[in-house]
């Protein structure tokens, strides 16, 4: 049976798959958090989950036979309860209906008396503290990102303004140069025209003198 099949089996008793999935997830999450925190999770008639410390030791690699040093570590351990053992061994008959695990005695499920409840509260407190610490970091990161974006936009705007100013200056310089060139061309044309006018009367005078001389000679 995998987790999905477990949820389906629980759903048949609770009457809804969503509620069954949430219940299974909540139970597993609570047990894991309690064991990781070092608490013992004991379910009457079912068994006990606990954290066990393993000291450093030497072991052998099954493939090479080489002696390997294993560091100190922590491992989870499950010890089945006597009722669970009896049902598996067959010394006790599994009931057709109703819970197969013996119900907890009265008063043992009072909130706040078990280590598991304390572990859950500690886990919730740690999650809240972690969320509170992460919130300012996220805000600071968001502020830095916004400031960087504003600085980049300002730099781009300044660069665009400088480029526009440079283009305008270049255009003005080109216009001034064009005007100077046009003025120079006009001055050259005027000078050429004036010179041509001066040359024309001189030619006419020379022609007249030549004609007069020819007439006198006759």
- Give the separation between CA 15 and CA 54, rounded to whole angstroms: 43
β-pairing, 47-54 vs 73-80, is antiparallel
171-177: average pLDDT: 72
Contact 101, 46 (CB under 8 A): yes
Give the tens place of pLDDT for each residue, 142-165.
566 667 677 777 777 777 777 667
HEC per residue, 131-155: HHHHHHHHHHHHHHHHHHHHHHHHH
Give the tens place of pLDDT for each residue, 3-16.
999 999 899 888 88
Query: Helix 17-36 crosses helix 115-217 at what angle (to 10 degrees)?
Result: 100
Give the tens place of pLDDT for each residue, 55-81.
999 999 999 989 999 999 999 999 999
| Segments making up each domain of the chain, as ranges | 3-128
Q: How far apart are the first and last CA of the chain?
A: 148
Closest CA to 43 of 29, 25, 31: 31
Sign of the four-CA dihedral 28, 32, 33, 34:
positive
Q: Is the pLDDT of residue 35 over 70?
A: yes
- Give the separation between CA 46 and CA 170, rounded to whole angstroms: 89
Q: Can you give the pLDDT at residue 114?
A: 46
Please tell me the number of Cα atoms within 13 Å of 187 on its side-chain side: 6
Q: Can you give the pLDDT at residue 187?
A: 74
Q: Can you give the pLDDT at residue 156?
A: 79
- Give the separation between CA 116 and CA 41, rounded to whole angstroms: 6
Work out the mean pLDDT of the chain and round it to a whole number.
77
Q: Can you give the pLDDT at residue 113?
A: 44
Percent of the chain exceeding pLDDT 90 equals: 32
HEC per residue, the chain: CCHHHHHHHHHHHHCCHHHHHHHHHHHHHHHHHHHHCCCCEEECCCEEEEEEEECCEEEECCCCCCEEEECCEEEEEEEECHHHHHHHHCCCCCCCCCCCCCCCCCCCCCCCCCHHHHHHHHHHHHHHHHHHHHHHHHHHHHHHHHHHHHHHHHHHHHHHHHHHHHHHHHHHHHHHHHHHHHHHHHHHHHHHHHHHHHHHHHHHHHHHHHHHHHHHHC
pTM recorded for the entire structure: 0.45
Q: Can you give the pLDDT at residue 37?
A: 93
Q: Which residue has the tokens 């006597």?
A: 82
Closest CA to 31 of 15, 42, 18, 17: 42
For the domain covering 3-128, report its CATH number: 4.10.520.10
């Amino acid at each position: 049976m995998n987790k999905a099949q477990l949820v389906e089996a629980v759903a048949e008793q609770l009457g809804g798959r969503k509620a069954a999935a949430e219940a299974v997830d909540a139970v597993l999450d609570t047990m894991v958090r309690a064991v990781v925190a070092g608490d013992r999770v004991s379910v009457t008639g079912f068994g006990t989950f606990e954290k066990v410390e393993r000291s450093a030791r030497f072991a052998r690699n099954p493939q090479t036979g080489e002696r390997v040093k294993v560091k100190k570590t922590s491992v989870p351990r499950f010890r089945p309860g006597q009722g669970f053992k009896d049902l598996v061994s067959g010394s006790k008959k599994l009931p057709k209906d109703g819970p197969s695990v013996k119900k907890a005695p009265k008063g043992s499920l009072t909130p706040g008396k078990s280590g598991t409840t304390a572990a859950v509260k500690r886990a919730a407190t740690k999650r809240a503290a972690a969320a509170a610490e992460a919130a300012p970091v996220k805000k600071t990161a968001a502020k830095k990102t916004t400031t960087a974006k504003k600085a980049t936009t300002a730099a781009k705007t300044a660069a665009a303004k400088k480029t526009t100013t440079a283009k305008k200056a270049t255009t003005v310089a080109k216009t001034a140069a064009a005007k100077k060139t046009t003025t120079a061309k006009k001055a050259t044309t005027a000078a050429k025209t004036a010179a041509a006018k001066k040359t024309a009367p001189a030619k006419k005078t020379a022609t007249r003198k030549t004609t007069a001389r020819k007439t006198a000679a006759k």
